[in-house]
Chain A
Amino acid sequence: MDTSAFNSVWWIFALPVFGFLWQCLAGKIVIDNLGDKLGKRIMGASAVLPIAAAFFIAVDLTGKLHSMPAESRSVVLTLFDWINIQSLHVPFEFRVDALSMMMVLIITGIGSLIHLYATGYMAEEKDYPRFFTYLNLFVAAMLVLVLGNNLVLTFIGWEGVGLCSYLLIGFWYKDVANSKAANKAFIVNRIGDFGFTIGMFLLIAQVTLDRNIIGITDPRWLSFDVLLPHADVLFKINPEITTMAALALFVGAMGKSAQFPLYLWLPDAMAGPTPVSALIHAATMVTSGVFLLNRMSPVFAAAPQAGAVIAIIGAATSLLGALIAFGQTDIKKVLAFSTVSQLGYMFIGCGVGAYWAGMFHVTTHAFFKALLFLGAGAVIHAMAHDQDMRNYGGLWKFLKITGATMLVGWAAIAGFPYLSGFFSKEEILGAAVNSDTVLHLGGYMWSTGQVAGWIGFVVAFLTAAYMTRMTLLTFFSGEGRWKTIAAGHGHDHDHEHGHHDAHAHAHHHEDPHGFFYSDAEMHARAVAEPHEHHHALDSHHVPKEVPPSMWMPLAVLAVLSLVGGAWLKYGVNLEHWLYPGAEAAEHAERVSHPMLLGISFTVFLAGVGFGFWKYAKGLPADEGWDLSLWKRWRTSAGRQFGIDAALTDGSLKGGAMLGAFLAGIDKWLIDGVVNASGRVAELAGGLLSRTQRGYVRGYALLMQAGVVALIFYVIYQLSHLGAGN
């Protein structure tokens, strides 16, 4: 097949790479020479442009793909041979198909909007080019992740985005809390990456062992187009291993996509700048787990048990995230837990086999969650970098554009009928409640798919409620509460991360070991590097609407949130577009379509109604500053029900114990053996050196002994072997 029409895909990858190189090599020079204002403008523009250009190339490629017949909409392009071992051949190859292009469009499209937003948001930042260096590199890595045509390339992208996420969370590295959050994200992600590699190796091992039985002859057998068609054969030959491989890959997805119990890092990741939260921790990177499940869907489809596990974990995560969101007072934290919860939805979809619905929700979620994060960023920007919703209220009067767009976002995520979130959520839940995904465990069959679906409806209610809470507390419900801040009240908020709370109630759990920093070190660094404060929020503050570079992306995303869902469902026919051959497999409908609609409406109205009932009048007394009035479960939700603390403590203490145990083994057993061999060698050397007594006659004697020994050896050989040459 002639693939030259798709060669421009390399530009999609190359442009962000060039942008990255340009930013890191030239950024400082440009800003130093052209002055702060002009230099930043140039660097900002040159950060946005490559991503935007890549977006347009992606649009063009998608158009080309669309014009092709449905069954051949998958193009593999090889750049060069990368790994070439006897029976294994891993080229550097990209795959252009509906799935990858959909991700590329999200990454570059929303990515360029967020880049644009960031040029305004980060305008006061000293390390301006460094930020865009990381951001462009992130886009490049993410593109490798989604475009790579084999697990190895995907893994490279996987690690690359992890690295960029780490760098960006810790962007304000002078604040120890940010560094800690970055470390936490990185370490928790390592657990997931470990799962990914295990899964990959299991597949590799399985294919290597049974290649002849499976019937793969192409040496590129790690490539998706070669491997995936054989997934069901793989399962037939070795069901346990294939299920284990699928689950291990899912562990990888759990790490990146913040599923229970590896969700811990995502709330902390809000320490990064808000555009980062929008791009990486809402729209793209965290959905790469869902992408992986879609990409490897033949493997997961072949291993139904894995799907059942995925569905129930997704449901648990979404419920947990929604509950915890009630306890948060930091606006970004609310959105972070909301993201956790929505990611849970996507996994429910994938778990019950509706992979396309998972991707559908990835897309709509990218629209409205990016919108909400950017809106939250705008609010934070307008409120002198205070993130506590308890200080907001009545902002509608000041921030009309931000408020309007965020209202759209609220409606979309809450499930307002016929907005984008409504459609994707309904597809997932419909597929779930109608699925026959069952888990065989302990001799029973657990209908985890249906359970997950019903949990999903509960979560939909909760989502509507907590999003209403957030919106009311921020934009409506009474006058601005910041006006009541007394001087010296101590609202000493750090500029970008919410959990460093100087109030009487430290509701964030400070982990004792501090992920690499002891308390003493933290204190020392805090003293050495005082926070760089913008002007603090005080009672005289007047919020101002954000500049156009910031609200324009909001407007675009608002439009997408309004109509994106309907367009994707009816205009694009996403299910057919992503999985052209899958329509035949329809289940018997347990819950009919109108019934689903009815439930969805009811749930939405109930949730919003609950929110209004509770928060319309302003900040309820039981959520105020006074701790004693807090309801118990909200306190508990605020601390993530102790899960974070338990897991962190448990792993740290367990790790310390394991470390001590292994250190003991190392010291006594391994060092013992090593030292003993050293001693033995030295002892032998000492003994042998005694034979060197310094007497020349002794040396001569030893030589003679050697000669005699040789002669005896020769005599023996001669008598033994004879003259037979």
Chain B
Amino acid sequence: MNYTIPTVDWSLVLPFALVALTGIVALIIETAHPKRDNGLIIGVSLTGLAATFVLLLTQLVLPPARTFGNMVLRDQFSVLLQLICVAATAVCFMFSDGYLREKKIAFGEFYPLTLWALSGAMVMVSTDNLLMLFVGLEILSIALYCLAGMSRSEARSEESALKYFLLGAFASAFLLYGIAFLFGASGSMSLPDIQKAVTGLTRDTLPMPVFGVMLVLVGLGFKASLVPFHQWTPDVYQGAPTNVTAFMAAVSKVAAFGALARVLVAAAPLHQYWFEALYWIAIATMCIGNLVALVQKDVKRALGYSSIAHAGYLLVALLAYTRDPDKVSLGTTVFYLIGYAAMTVGAFAVVSLAAKGDRDGSRYQDLHGLYRRAPFATVMLVLFLSSLIGIPPTVGFFGKQLIFLDALRTGLVPLAIVLAVNSAVSAYYYLQIMVAAFVSEEGAARPVSRKPGAGMTIGVCVCAAGVIFASLLGGYVQETTRTAALQAKPVPGRVQNQMEVINR
């Protein structure tokens, strides 16, 4: 048998390879001079991210391509999501400096681990192969388990790491079991193949892929914090170091929804077997996230619940897309993810200011007096929270509006109503946080917040720019992803084989 080594288009794997490599370099620096070359580590990390960002920007205009036996896929959807991940990580790096010093976390551990987690997230969104998806998810998760427990002297941090670890591994088992069923039904790990295989099934062969899809949804739903797989979210968000929480909130949500979008598109032929379940999950996710957030007394925890609610909104966007891809675009999801990353990272960045020693100082009353000590950061916090509420002209408003309109266009009126009501409910706790920051008198054992450093200021400004100006990208994102997603149209009964299209 004569066997030729297939040609590999390295440019497709270059972005996440570069990120992983940067992480390795940062680790080498740390091992060479333990706990000394902090500035160099930050510099190397940010440089690597900047290079990756530029590289991805150049790839944004390229046509879709595959390599490594079709295991790596690059289209506009994946490039955009990777750009969001890289940018969010860069902002986390910018504001982490002071926080890590305050908490006495080793720079040489945080930066490489975060970079590897990022590379995992990037792998996750740039594949439509379940094997790769699983590997990417595990790279992301395992690094995040470590990161959550990074503040080793804090019991809360360790507790959150253990919870995240056990539940994450548990969810992985479901994901894998689902993959196994899909594999059994199609003989392939590739989503387009699976989509093709599940299109013309008979009554006897149908159950296996349906169960498979369900179990995969459980695994990804855990990552995306959908009810009832959401319970880890507030605990881990609260316990983990704040910069890790910011990273987790933005990057792992982007990765989870990117993967979820691809799985749902592939599972579109089985639409009728999962749609209604996700419909109710979306409602439950929005409502439970917001309702429980109402009674929270800790900013990080409240934002954790808020992230659950936002996952619900994002699921509405995905459901609208899978219901009628001709009328609405996958761009809504991407656009909302851009906005969500900007506002949530920004909010956590400002909250991280309130950390002092072992205490994270993230209770509402810990924010008292913040306005007097860090007026700029507080104003920015107001901006981010306004965007999370969805007050125009922030990106949060336009994102929600797009989702709302998508839901209406595809006939998901109840979802649109629940979304609108939930937006109103959510205003209550976001406003509580704002008010806390503006209370002038300080309690005992204060002030706890640091003065924002230069990195913090830049990072917050980047997020603010995102919150204010990302709206301008709305049309572009919609258009770009429309062309990118064309090949993955989830039209039941009229499925194209992506691989054949591209290989031809």
Physical contact A–B (CB less than 8 Å): yes
Given the contacts A692-B231, A706-B228, A713-B277, A725 and B269 also touching, CB distance less than 8 Å:
yes
Contacts of B214 in A (CB 8 A): 707, 710-711, 714
Contacts of A42 in B (CB 8 A): none
Please tell me which one of the listed residues A686, A696, A713, A723 contacts residue B201 in the complex, with CB atoms under 8 A apart: A723
By beta carbon, the residue of chain A nearest B210 is A714
Question: Which residues of A695-725 are within 8 A (CB) of B?
Answer: 696, 698-700, 702-703, 705-707, 710-711, 713-714, 717-718, 721-723, 725
By beta carbon, the residue of chain A nearest B215 is A707
Check if B294 is an interface residue, CB within 8 A of chain A.
yes
Does A699 contact B234, Cβ atoms closer than 8 Å? no
Contacts of A714 in B (CB 8 A): 207, 210-211, 214, 273-274, 277
Contacts of B170 in A (CB 8 A): 700, 703
Does A688 contact B167, Cβ atoms closer than 8 Å? no
Does B171 contact A681, Cβ atoms closer than 8 Å? no
Does B222 contact A710, Cβ atoms closer than 8 Å? no
- Cβ of A152 to closest chain B Cβ, rounded Å: 27
Contacts of B296 in A (CB 8 A): 689
Does B202 contact A699, Cβ atoms closer than 8 Å? no
Question: Chain A at the B interface: mostly helix, strand, loop or mixed?
Answer: helix
Check if B364 is an interface residue, CB within 8 A of chain A.
no
Check if A685 is an interface residue, CB within 8 A of chain B.
yes
A688 to B288, CA, bound (A): 7
Does A685 contact B163, Cβ atoms closer than 8 Å? no
Check if A694 is an interface residue, CB within 8 A of chain B.
yes
Contacts of A689 in B (CB 8 A): 292, 295-296
Please tell me which one of the listed residues B162, B203, B228, B274 contacts residue A723 in the complex, with CB atoms under 8 A apart: B203
Question: Contact flags (1/0) for B211-252 with A, using CB distance below 8 Å?
Answer: 100110110001000011101101100000000000000000
Given the contacts A685-B292, A711-B214, A723-B203, A678 and B428 also touching, CB distance less than 8 Å:
yes
A682 to B170, CA, bound (A): 32
Given the contacts A703-B167, A703-B171, A717-B272, A685 and B231 also touching, CB distance less than 8 Å:
no
Question: Contact flags (1/0) for A220-252 with B, using CB distance below 8 Å?
Answer: 000000000000000000000000000000000
Contacts of B211 in A (CB 8 A): 711, 714
Contacts of A658 in B (CB 8 A): none
By beta carbon, the residue of chain A nearest B425 is A681
Check if B200 is an interface residue, CB within 8 A of chain A.
yes
Does A703 contact B228, Cβ atoms closer than 8 Å? yes
Does A682 contact B167, Cβ atoms closer than 8 Å? no
For B, the interface residue count at a CB cutoff of 8 angstroms equals: 45
Question: Which residues of B303-338 are within 8 A (CB) of A?
Answer: none
Does B288 contact A696, Cβ atoms closer than 8 Å? no
- Cβ of A515 to closest chain B Cβ, rounded Å: 36
A696 to B235, CA, bound (A): 10
Question: Contact flags (1/0) for B470-492 with A, using CB distance below 8 Å?
Answer: 00000000000000000000001
Which of B203, B276, B291 has most A Cβ within 10 Å?
B291
- Cβ of B457 to closest chain A Cβ, rounded Å: 35
Check if A684 is an interface residue, CB within 8 A of chain B.
yes
Question: Which residues of B159-199 are within 8 A (CB) of A?
Answer: 162-163, 166-167, 170-171, 174, 199
Contacts of B274 in A (CB 8 A): 714
Contacts of A682 in B (CB 8 A): 294-295
Given the contacts A710-B218, A725-B200, A696 and B163 also touching, CB distance less than 8 Å:
yes
Contacts of B8 in A (CB 8 A): none
- Cβ of A689 to closest chain B Cβ, rounded Å: 5
A313 to B436, CA, bound (A): 61
Given the contacts A707-B215, A718-B273, A694 and B235 also touching, CB distance less than 8 Å:
yes
Contacts of B234 in A (CB 8 A): 692
Interface size, A (range): 20 to 34
Contacts of A718 in B (CB 8 A): 206-207, 210, 273
Given the contacts A696-B163, A700-B170, A721 and B218 also touching, CB distance less than 8 Å:
no
Contacts of B217 in A (CB 8 A): 710
Check if B293 is an interface residue, CB within 8 A of chain A.
yes
- Cβ of A90 to closest chain B Cβ, rounded Å: 27
A254 to B215, CA, bound (A): 74
Does A681 contact B291, Cβ atoms closer than 8 Å? yes
A543 to B227, CA, bound (A): 90
Does B222 contact A703, Cβ atoms closer than 8 Å? yes
By beta carbon, the residue of chain B nearest A713 is B277
Question: Which residues of B446-485 are within 8 A (CB) of A?
Answer: none
Does A700 contact B292, Cβ atoms closer than 8 Å? no
Does B218 contact A707, Cβ atoms closer than 8 Å? yes
Contacts of B206 in A (CB 8 A): 718, 723
Contacts of B295 in A (CB 8 A): 682, 685-686, 689
Does B293 contact A685, Cβ atoms closer than 8 Å? yes
Contacts of A694 in B (CB 8 A): 235
Contacts of B425 in A (CB 8 A): 681
Does B294 contact A681, Cβ atoms closer than 8 Å? yes
Please tell me which one of the listed residues A702, A710, A721, A725 contacts residue B231 in the complex, with CB atoms under 8 A apart: A702
A682 to B291, CA, bound (A): 7
Check if B43 is an interface residue, CB within 8 A of chain A.
no
Please tell me which one of the listed residues A696, A717, A721, A725 contacts residue B166 in the complex, with CB atoms under 8 A apart: A696
By beta carbon, the residue of chain B nearest A686 is B295
Does B218 contact A706, Cβ atoms closer than 8 Å? yes
A707 to B215, CA, bound (A): 8
Q: A residues within 8 Å of B by Cβ?
A: 678, 681-682, 684-686, 688-689, 692, 694, 696, 698-700, 702-703, 705-707, 710-711, 713-714, 717-718, 721-723, 725
- In the complex, 12 of the A-B residue pairs with CB atoms within 8 angstroms, ordered by the A residue number, are A681-B425, A681-B428, A682-B294, A682-B295, A686-B295, A710-B214, A714-B207, A714-B211, A717-B210, A718-B273, A723-B206, A725-B199
Considering the complex of A and B, which 9 residue pairs feature the smallest CB-CB distances, nearest first? A706-B228, A685-B294, A685-B291, A699-B231, A723-B203, A685-B295, A689-B292, A723-B206, A696-B163
A sample of 12 more A-B contacts (CB under 8 A), given A692-B292, A696-B166, A714-B274, is A682-B295, A685-B292, A688-B292, A696-B162, A696-B167, A698-B231, A700-B166, A702-B228, A717-B272, A718-B207, A721-B272, A723-B203
